[in-house]
Amino acid sequence: MNTGDGVLGFCGLYCGGCTYYQNTMKGIKTKVDENLYTECLGCNSGTTTPWCSDCQIKNCNREKGIRYCLECSTFPCEILNYFMNDEKYPYHKEVPENMKRLQEIGLNKWIEEQDSKYTCKKCGEKFDWFENQCKHCE
């Protein structure tokens, strides 16, 4: 498990729930398309997927000098609201609860909780945001 804050997305998502992050932790580059393979070490790292590298939320947080959206005086803003309500990504709706929980228990405990949430209790395999359960033990 990563105990650094690289797995805390600027938006409040847990990067450990991402297939690209999980594959990178296993030493696997993930194929994005015919000519592109990618690795990701989490939003706050220098190694991210192409779409996370140029994320509006990440750029906004960096411009404001804050680590994640909850620290912003305009939380939740229009950009984050759009992100949270994007129907293509239902797991984005977890952001407000993630931020609340992070504030309650602190970063390290939040990471432990999130890691446990995306780890199968039967076999110990990781699953991602889209699966929401272990594909080996369904």
Q: Where are the domains of the chain?
A: 5-117
The terminus-to-terminus CA distance of the chain in angstroms comes to 23
pLDDT (0 to 100) of residue 3: 42
The values of phi and psi at residue 80, to 5°, are -70, -40
pLDDT digits (tens, 9 = 90+) for 9-43: 999 999 999 989 999 999 999 888 888 888 889 88
- Tell me whether residue 80 is exposed, middle or buried, using C-beta atoms within 10 angstroms of its C-beta: 0 to 12, 13 to 18, 19 or more: buried
Q: Tokens at residue 12, please?
A: 């409040």
The values of phi and psi at residue 109, to 5°, are -70, -35
Q: Which residues contact 111 (CB under 8 A, 6 or more apart)?
A: 1, 2, 3, 5, 7, 8, 14, 16
pLDDT digits (tens, 9 = 90+) for 53-101: 889 999 999 999 998 898 999 988 999 999 999 999 999 999 999 999 9
Q: Nearest-5° angle of CA 101, CA 103, CA 107?
A: 85
